[in-house]
Structure 1
Amino acid sequence: MSQITTVPGTPMPPMVQVPLSPGMRPSGPPMPQQAFTPQDIIRMLKKRIWLIVIVAILVFVGSGVGTYFWAKYYPTYRATALVEVKSPNPPAPMEKQGQLPNKDIMEQHINTQARMIKAMGILNKALEDPVVRGTSWYQSFGNDVPKALLDMDERLAATPIRDTWFINVGFAWRHDGESAQIVNAILDQYLRRVSDASQGRSRTDLALYQRRAQELLSEISLKKAALARDRASYNIPVIERRQADVGAKVASLNELLEERLTGQEQAQSLYDMYHRPGAQTSMADTPEMRQAVDFDPLVRTYTAQLADARLNLETAREYRPKHGLTLQLERQIQTIERQLNARKSELLAENFRQMSERTQVELDGITREVISLQNRMVEAKHELDDLEAHMAKYRADERDIQNLEEQLATVNDHIMRLRIQQEDPELVRVSISRAERPLERSSPSFKVNLPAGLMLGLMLGVGFAFLLEFLSSTVKTPADVVRQLHLPLLGQVPSQEDDEASPEDMNKLLIESPHSILAESFRQLRTNFLFAGPPEQQRTVLVTSCSPEEGKTCIAVNLATSLALAGQKVLLIDANFRRPSAAEAFGLSDGQQGLSDILVGRASASNLIRPTQHDNLDVLPAGPLPPNPAELLGNDHLKGLLQELKGRYQTIILDGPPLLVVSDALVLATAVDTAILTIRAGHTARGAILRAREQLRRVNARLSGIVLNDVRITRGGYFRQMYRTYYEYHAPEGLLEKDGEEQPEAEEVKSE
């Protein structure tokens, strides 16, 4: 453990501790490891900042050196040319501009031309150019045409320029003049291909339209001949006149038929009126029937006689109401009335019969007339349909001839335009800006390679840092204990090498350097231990570790000293028969009698317990090494001894052997109230700690928590900020000094 500059002063304020529960018994498999937090990443980057910087510098320098030699021995010059792709729809002859295509169609056309520039046929033709064959690029392949063709395709780039009608064509080679020559040779072949394709397309279109014109002329001639024959055979003028006459006849018949149909409906209605049940009774009171009855001579005679008889009866009643003449007149009136009613009934019946017969005759007559008109209408319509069919065919033939003549005119117009376009320079829908000798090399570029090398170096450095962090399986920080092991943390002790105020003998730390951060860490360990569980469950404590060289004896000695300085009566027992060292920490010889003699019954504890320079702290050495340490510690003598010593001491601390090396530690763990596991930061693996926890669980031993020892105060380390805060707080004027000399480490910490 290294030195840290210190200045004596007031005690350090309490350090932030991980919350503790009152003791624990580990049980079950460990919980899954949690992901890195942003704080862990920042800590890791700070911790390995020099690795990241060195890797970044090495890659940066390497990229600079590589770029220099690359530029010196194998530079690349890119010659570029521009190809303007015009609209695929050429303007019509005597027009300045053709129809602009859709944007998507134009983009497809430009991309098609870019692919055509790199077509194997064009590249093959370019390789046949004597200028290309004379270049060092072609000669480097030793006349291996397929290999040269593949290399040309790889080096050649034809890229459409966004939002323009241009294609950027470039070729990269280490000789600037040859790059331009090769690009121009390729574009010459491309332009020849486009020109030939345009001329060939124009000639093909012209031949196609001329053939179509001949077909239309032949078809028009045939149509006109057939039309002349039809006109002669059908006598079209006569048909036209007859069509007009028949049309007028159909209209007249239709009007007359409508009138007759209306009359038929009326006759049918009248017929139905006279032939329905009870029609005679209901028709008796009609004006026609009353008129027929009233104008009958006999009815008129009976009516006059009835009127005279009634007048005579009225006169006779005035003078002789019951005279025989009166009675005779009454009988006469009755007789006349019967005769009158009988005559009226006869007349009504006769008139009804006559009217009924007349409606029948009228209905039959008008029905026959309607049928006749309908037949004539059908005949006229048939004749009209035949005439119209002949005329429709004739008119259709005329329209067909007219359409064919219009098509012929359109085809002739296209033929004229194509003949004009064959002489038009705009027929080739591309134009080329030839490549010139490049003024500077295209690659390598220091402006690109150096920043890229720096970025790559930083990424590699960070990647190596993360890789080292992930590959490391050791516990380094208090956060690792809680997050990865899920165990209570009783305390953390900084590395002795980082605290210059610490003494050479760590066992005398609390006496010789009471104001150092190391001493303060042991006082915090004491406080956390006292609150880790009920006092009756922490009377006997085993301090152990996973493996040797983790500082468990130092932890046991300083914890015992801290408890003694706090006023407790403490006994420190050296229970490590393999490598006893606790007694030597207080200047006692380990060759004397000790714990082993007590357990075999050769001595009593009161005779072998040795006092120390601390009034409240006694030590029991380990004694001679027995041949069977595990069996000796496993008998009931040890438990009885501890029970006896509890009456004299408040706390008994046993410095035991490592858990994973010998079985003695597990035997001791079953005899004490609780155990403390010491872990050396950056040294003890997580797997070893978990195995130690599992072994304690199997023997049903209680584990109070973990002590993280030898925590380094490095950049990104856990105690970095705490170290600076602690000594700045203790320094009277913020200066970290010792013996009148300013310490460089303190300056560095303060400057951060």
Structure 2
Amino acid sequence: MPPLTNQPSDRVVPETNAGFSAITAESALSEALNVLRKRKWVLIIAAILGILYGVYQAATQPIVYVATGRIQVAKPNGQASLGVATGNLTGSLQSEDLETEVLIISSESLMLSVAQEMNLANNPDFMGSGPYRNINDPIVRAAVIGKLSNAFKVASIPRTQMIRITVTANKAQLAADLVNHLINAYQQRSFESRFASTQRVSQWLQGQLDDLKQQVEASQEQLMDLQKKIGVLGLGADASKPVTTQVTAAVEALSTAAIAAKVQRILAESRYRVLASSDPALMESNLQASGAGQESELSKLRDDAAQTKAQIAQSSVSLGPKNPQILALQAHLREVDREIKTEETRMVTEAKQALVAAQANEAQTEGALEDQKNQSYRLRDDLVEYTLRQRDYETNRALYEALLAKLRSASVQAGLDALEIDVVDPAFKPIGPTMTPRSSILSRDLILSLVFGIMLAFALESLDTGIRSVSEVEHITQLPSLSIIPRVRRMQSDGSGSATVAQTNIGVLATSKSQFSEAFRSLRTALLLATTGHPPKFILITSSTPSEGKTTVSTNLAAILAQRETRVLLIDADLRRPNVHHRFGLNGRVGLSTVLSGGATLEEAVKNVPEVPNLDVLCSGPVPPFPTEMLSSESMKNLLQECGELYTHVVIDSPPILSVTDAVILAHYADAIVMVVRHGKSSRNVVRRARDLMVRSGAPVTGVVLNSVDINAPEYHGYYGYSGYSYSNIDSESWESNGRENERNNKGGQA
């Protein structure tokens, strides 16, 4: 046999991530039905309570009377009657408007109005007998309005303009009166609300009219002041045209005069410059060349001087220079020359004075033109302000007149704008009381109780962390389910009292034709086929926590394996809480701890089971002080090698995985590891933690055994049953209880 530290080459470690990832799960509907079947007592109790409560409600329901009234509500047609165009002349209300009216009818203000009108606070049929109640008291008012609101039910009738008003009361006449008074209060409120709204609008309009009146008067006064300032008569739109025409004509006349003065100044300046800069002898010719002058006195004097000079020249030849006639001519010439000079001086002075006068005329004319222009500009600004104030005055006056007309027609319009409320069906006194049928009450309460029961069943299922199905344990551990060990209800006995301790505690020895035995045969087949090449020799049975049935599985599996032509050894490796020797009724003084400590050999410690000749049991022996060190020792390795040579299969019952590390140590010696999970007891998180611990340690976990399963549960319905064929039942729980009793009986004999 090869060393146990080296795993066999043909050993197959199950793939935890991919091997069983495609497990077929039940549909959501079938799972829900399984939950309901499993929690059927919750549904039954809920249904019984619902029926009882329905019977109580049907027996104690009060006698009430129901009265109903119907009204039709339409839009006002007042605008149409005044000739004002509207978008909707038919008077129909939209659905939103109708729902608004429903809320108005159900409002506390209308309820208070009905309560005050009918004095419901002191009505014994409504509030019951008692002392006088004041409706103005907030507590009394709240109580009356609350009870009245609960009594009324107001709703619009679909696809119509009608509203149904229903009330429930203790008296028939009171029910009818409540509906009719509410309809009357609603009609009165419709008129009063429109009138009050119109009054508020009228008051606001009156305040606006007073303000507009003051604005019109102020605008008119400002307009009249401007008229006086600019000289405008009247208030018409063309009142300012004469002033504008007069100012425009004055500006045009002054502009023409300014141009003429400028031309005159240019001519005078030209004459003066010609006279001032010319040679005196050429002054007259320059004036004629420039066109600045005409024939003047200077020309005449120059002609006279020329003639005198000619006469002197002629006379000097014939008369001589001293001739008196010549002297007279010379004196005349001198006088003419003096007059010429005088005339030249006069002409220059006269041209200069004409220039000064033309300049002064030009300056005065241009000054007058500028003054007239500035006056025109000021007049233009005044006219613009006048136009604006005139427009403001006209606008204020038109708005004032329009608001005044609205105010005068507001009182008439108030009545025309009220809603048209037509009482289609007034409420009449009910003939008899209205009571809910008992069948309806029972059906309603039964349905509600069943719904609550279903919710409670699923809540309890979600809070239950125990593993209860094969698919659930395979999904959590990602390991295959090797077998399902049933929990049968009754123990079959032959009545002779000759059954041994082993037959009492080991279920597969009590009967071979039970569901319990078949489950272990299935487990045996699954383990023999779990490894490739040869069946597993060392089989380790463990669990996550104590009390999950690993000892029951290991003892019954060993007995089933020994029923074949093989030799099987069952080792009780739980050195802390041994229990195997109690199941077989053996003495546990000598066992595994004795062999490992060297106190006995394997042949001396092994005990044969008479009921199963091929089965030997190695009990745990005395509890050692250090079990973990003993199981991980070299002696344990050698012992298992020796057992492997002598036996076909070695079944090891180990401690729980999460309690101590013994199971992890023993897992390295095993060819196949079986995790036992107790149905309904093992927690999901605990099982997942144990599985992760074994996988991370490299242990060859073969699969999971779901133990103590109620095969009559909904999720296992028909799992073992076949039509016309079944096994007898043996209570495995009684086997375990008998085993514990034998343990107590044999406790005194243990070393």
Q: Verify same fold: TM over 0.5.
A: yes
Q: 1:178 aligns with which of 174, 182, 185?
A: 174
Q: 2:705 aligns with which of 704, 707, 718?
A: 707
Instruction: Determine if contact 1:522/1:562 at 8 Å carries over to the other structure.
Output: no
Q: Distance in 1 between matches of 2:219 and 2:661?
A: 119
Read off the aligned partner of 1:736 and give its amino acid letter.
G
Q: 1:652 aligns with which of 650, 653, 670?
A: 650
Any idea what the Cα deviations from partners look like across 1:168-202, whole Å, max 9, x if unmatched? 65544343432332343345445445544544555
Q: Cα distance, 1:61 vs. partner? A: 1.9
Instruction: Determine if contact 2:43/2:457 at 8 Å carries over to the other structure.
Output: no
Read off the aligned partner of 2:677 and give its amino acid letter.
I
Report the 3-state secondary structure (helix = DSSP H, G, I; strand = E; otherwise coil) of the residue aligned with 1:91.
helix
Aligned counterpart, 2:464 = 472
Q: Cα distance, 1:495 vs. partner? A: 0.8
Read off the aligned partner of 2:523 and give its amino acid letter.
F
Q: Cα distance, 1:403 vs. partner? A: 5.3
Q: 1:736 aligns with which of 697, 715, 724?
A: 724
Instruction: Determine if contact 1:572/1:620 at 8 Å carries over to the other structure.
Output: yes
CA 1:391 to 1:470, structure 2 compared with 1: closer, same or farther past 3 Å?
closer
Aligned counterpart, 1:91 = 79
Q: Distance in 2 between matches of 1:518 and 1:136?
A: 75
Q: 1:453 aligns with which of 420, 445, 460?
A: 445
CA 1:224 to 1:398, structure 2 compared with 1: closer, same or farther past 3 Å?
same
Any idea what the Cα deviations from partners look like across 1:135-160, whole Å, max 9, x if unmatched? 51134564333444223433426867
CA 1:527 to 1:441, structure 2 compared with 1: closer, same or farther past 3 Å?
farther
Read off the aligned partner of 1:91 and give its amino acid letter.
Q
Instruction: Determine if contact 2:54/2:446 at 8 Å carries over to the other structure.
Output: no
CA 1:394 to 1:594, structure 2 compared with 1: closer, same or farther past 3 Å?
closer
Q: 1:150 aligns with which of 126, 136, 142?
A: 142
What is the identity percentage for the equivalent residue pairs of Structure 1 and Structure 2?
19
Q: Distance in 1 between matches of 2:465 and 2:108?
A: 58
Aligned counterpart, 2:674 = 676
For 1:330-729, what aligned pairs fall within 5 Å after superposition? 378-385=370-377, 406-407=398-399, 409-411=401-403, 413-414=405-406, 416-418=408-410, 420-421=412-413, 424=415, 426=416, 428-429=418-419, 431=421, 433=423, 434-437=426-429, 452-484=444-476, 486=477, 488-489=479-480, 491-495=482-486, 497=488, 506-508=507-509, 512=513, 517-518=518-519, 521-527=522-528, 529-530=530-531, 539-545=537-543, 550-560=548-558, 563=561, 569-573=567-571, 581=580, 601=599, 605=603, 608=606, 610=608, 617-620=614-617, 622=619, 626=622, 638-655=636-653, 675-686=673-684, 689=687, 704-717=702-715, 719-720=716-717, 722-723=719-720, 727=722
Instruction: Determine if contact 2:590/2:605 at 8 Å carries over to the other structure.
Output: no
Instruction: Determine if contact 1:544/1:665 at 8 Å carries over to the other structure.
Output: yes
Any idea what the Cα deviations from partners look like across 1:313-361, whole Å, max 9, x if unmatched? xxxxxxxxxxxxxxxxxxxxxxxxxxxxxxxxxxxxxxxxxxxxxxxxx
Q: Cα distance, 1:656 vs. partner? A: 5.2
Instruction: Determine if contact 1:490/1:528 at 8 Å carries over to the other structure.
Output: no
TM-score, normalised relative to structure 2: 0.58
Aligned counterpart, 1:69 = 59
Read off the aligned partner of 1:469 and give its amino acid letter.
E
Instruction: Determine if contact 1:56/1:456 at 8 Å carries over to the other structure.
Output: no
CA 1:482 to 1:513, structure 2 compared with 1: closer, same or farther past 3 Å?
closer
CA 1:566 to 1:122, structure 2 compared with 1: closer, same or farther past 3 Å?
closer
Instruction: Determine if contact 2:121/2:144 at 8 Å carries over to the other structure.
Output: no
Moved more, 155-164 or 217-226: 217-226
User: Gapped runs of 5+ residues in structure 2?
Assistant: 1-10, 17-24, 263-357, 494-502, 729-751
Instruction: Determine if contact 2:63/2:433 at 8 Å carries over to the other structure.
Output: no
Aligned counterpart, 1:360 = none
RMSD across aligned C-alpha pairs, in angstroms?
6.2
Aligned counterpart, 1:118 = 107
Any idea what the Cα deviations from partners look like across 1:496-549, whole Å, max 9, x if unmatched? 528999999632489657998525522443246436xx979x643343446676
CA 1:417 to 1:605, structure 2 compared with 1: closer, same or farther past 3 Å?
same
Any idea what the Cα deviations from partners look like across 1:281-327, whole Å, max 9, x if unmatched? xxxxxxxxxxxxxxxxxxxxxxxxxxxxxxxxxxxxxxxxxxxxxxx
Q: Cα distance, 1:54 vs. partner? A: 1.7
Moved more, 201-210 or 250-259: 250-259
Aligned counterpart, 1:48 = 38
Q: Cα distance, 1:605 vs. partner? A: 0.9
Q: Cα distance, 1:469 vs. partner? A: 2.0
Q: Cα distance, 1:482 vs. partner? A: 3.9
Aligned counterpart, 1:6 = none
Report the 3-state secondary structure (helix = DSSP H, G, I; strand = E; otherwise coil) of the residue aligned with 2:646.
coil
Instruction: Determine if contact 2:537/2:649 at 8 Å carries over to the other structure.
Output: yes
Any idea what the Cα deviations from partners look like across 1:42-67, whole Å, max 9, x if unmatched? 36525426246425533542453244
Q: Distance in 2 between matches of 1:548 and 1:496?
A: 18
Q: Cα distance, 1:393 vs. partner? A: 7.0
Instruction: Determine if contact 2:592/2:605 at 8 Å carries over to the other structure.
Output: no
Instruction: Determine if contact 1:494/1:518 at 8 Å carries over to the other structure.
Output: yes
Read off the aligned partner of 2:173 and give its amino acid letter.
G
Instruction: Determine if contact 1:170/1:183 at 8 Å carries over to the other structure.
Output: yes
Read off the aligned partner of 2:132 and give its amino acid letter.
N
Kindly indicate whether structure 1 or structure 2 has the higher relative contact order, using CA contacts under 8 Å at least 6 residues apart.
Answer: 1
Q: Cα distance, 1:37 vs. partner? A: 9.0
Q: Cα distance, 1:230 vs. partner? A: 8.2
CA 1:54 to 1:99, structure 2 compared with 1: closer, same or farther past 3 Å?
same
Q: How many residues align?
A: 588
User: Gapped runs of 5+ residues in structure 1?
Assistant: 1-19, 26-34, 262-365, 728-734, 742-752
Are 1:138 and 2:127 an aligned pair?
yes
Q: Cα distance, 1:460 vs. partner? A: 2.0
Instruction: Determine if contact 1:544/1:658 at 8 Å carries over to the other structure.
Output: yes
Q: Distance in 1 between matches of 2:472 and 2:655?
A: 24
CA 1:562 to 1:100, structure 2 compared with 1: closer, same or farther past 3 Å?
same
